[in-house]
Amino acid sequence: MSEENVPPPEAGESGGGQPKVSRRRFLGTGAALAVGLVVGGAVGVGSGYFLGQSNVKLPAGLKQGTGRFLIGTSVSTSGPTAQIISEEVQMFNNLVTLVNNRGGVYAADMGGYIPLQMVVLEDGGPGDTATIKSNYTKLATQYNVDLMIGPFTAAPSEAASPVAIQNQIPYIDNQADEIPIFTQSGASDWVVGSLNIINYWLWNYLNVLKTTDAKTIAFIDQGDDFDAEAAGTGTSHFGGIQFAKQLGFDVVLQDTGVNSTFSATYDYTPETLKLKSLDPDCVIYCDNTGALSALFFKSFQANNYKPRATHFLNGAQGAFYNTAGSIATGYTADVYWDASFPFEGLWGKSTWQQVQTITGFIDQNWPWLSIGYSCVENACNAVQVAGSTSKTAVMNALKTMEFTNLLGPWRAQNPLNDPFPPPSGLNTGVGMSLSRAVPVQIINGKRTIIGPPNLATGTYQYPEPYNF
């Protein structure tokens, strides 16, 4: 049956069609039994899944409300970024079940606790923006979702967010948060971010690097909005390069558009030899796949090149470890959550651990899933604050509420109020959160937070101890 012929589930139904994955894959039977859970499973809806049941059995003492809270999103299950985000489908499924096992979401104006449900459609990542736009259009017009969570990375999110605005549906940007998402017409009315604008990605790492003897930095990026804006070569000209200069570093190279086609067979040798000739103290590569960063690192090994520091934005991923193999040690990368963080979030850190156990993954291999989890926290807390699933009321709550989710303190803010604001005249929009990337050093499989000081779990080893 084609996707167009699969009707969206009506209120009170679990969905239509046949499951797209095995029951064993979704239920994680052993883990589910170990923690005493009954996992609802997912029902296929064309190229996606309908998650969560409408007939949730409430724990004793909780009052049943009327209605449901329906979230829609799209996840890259194919394409170049699938290897660092595809497991989000399973994560959402099991999170929905855990929330509903606790009663669901409290909405006072709807009479009590209502079930959480999700529609998760599939896409092919950055090169598949037509599908992504179509997916979010279906979420708005066929499924009539109450809220949307954005897809992974820049181009997909820049295709998805306008659909939410056009249909006046609250939109929480997920693992993207580029400036164009917040500056488009209508964004201030319907868009908030899970993270700070991506331009601040390297702020914490560069401040850690400043405590070493490093003086020179080379920046390389793939050229799309995520990579370029994080590096500072993008349209805003506000990012890592500008921060590095502000902190007193000498930027000796700014190469953008390197492997812009996401080729898994790209030869990084010319770029490596260029770096070897320039001999910067630190090399920073902005790539949103992890695996391509590992290919670059392997080129270092092949050409006997050892910069004193190497920082890969997506180096703390299973995709990086699997591709780099035995040389995946010594370098630095970034995360947004770590088990050492003190934040309990809306449902407690134990819930996040249960999600990992049931789904069968660990954060160290799939670190961006914690951001998707935090988006669901934000959405459910907004319903609690609003008292209902009214789109206008939920959006007002998202724009005004302050609370702590899994990643830390969250509120939709104006960057001009930031202690390190963007340059005068740069329109960044509003609604992004406080969360910034946290630098880690990977040594022999152990992930150590090296900054900022209030979150650090160890000290930065510089020069970095490679094993090649």
Q: What gap in Å lies between CA 47 and CA 142, rounded to an integer?
A: 14
CB 464 within 8 A of CB 309: yes
Q: What gap in Å lies between CA 40 and CA 56, rounded to an integer?
A: 10
Phi first, then psi, for residue 111 (nearest 5°) are 95, 0
In percent, the amount of the chain with pLDDT more than 90 equals: 85
Q: What is the pLDDT of residue 165?
A: 98
Of 30-34, 97-101, 312-316, the poorest mean pLDDT is in 30-34
**Cross-strand pairs, 332:** 311, 441
Domain spans of the chain? 3-195+345-417, 199-335+439-449
Q: What is the pLDDT of residue 6?
A: 32
DSSP state of 286: E
Q: What is the pLDDT of residue 23?
A: 28
Helices (runs of H) and strands (runs of E) counted in the chain: 17, 18
Which pLDDT band, with edges at 50, 70 and 90, does 347 fall under? very high
Q: What is the pLDDT of residue 43?
A: 80
Two tokens at 89? 């489908």
Q: What is the mean pLDDT of residues 424-442?
A: 95
pLDDT tens digits for range 221-264: 999 999 999 999 999 999 999 999 999 999 999 999 999 999 99
Two tokens at 355? 């999600």
Q: Amino acid letter at 304?
A: N
Q: What is the pLDDT of residue 136?
A: 98
pLDDT tens digits for range 192-224: 999 999 999 999 999 999 999 999 999 999 999
Domains 3-195+345-417 and 199-335+439-449 share a fold: yes
Q: Amino acid letter at 307?
A: P
- H helix or E strand, kind and range, residue 320: helix 318-324
Q: What is the CATH topology of the domain spanning 199-335+439-449?
A: Rossmann fold (3.40.50)
Cβ neighbours, 10 Å, residue 173: 29
Which pLDDT band, with edges at 50, 70 and 90, does 41 fall under? low
Of 39-43, 277-281, 344-348, the poorest mean pLDDT is in 39-43
Which pLDDT band, with edges at 50, 70 and 90, does 102 fall under? very high
Residues in Cβ contact with 414 at an 8 Å cutoff, skipping those fewer than 6 apart = 430
Higher pLDDT, 45 or 207: 207
Phi first, then psi, for residue 250 (nearest 5°) are -95, 115
Residue 163, burial from CB neighbour count under 10 angstroms (0-12, 13-18, 19+): buried
Phi first, then psi, for residue 6 (nearest 5°) are -95, 110
Q: What gap in Å lies between CA 27 and CA 359, rounded to an integer?
A: 8
Which pLDDT band, with edges at 50, 70 and 90, does 47 fall under? confident
Residue 405 scores a pLDDT above 90: yes
Q: What gap in Å lies between CA 231 and CA 224, rounded to an integer?
A: 11
CATH class of the structural domain 3-195+345-417: alpha beta
Q: What is the mean pLDDT of residues 413-437?
A: 90
Total-model pTM: 0.91
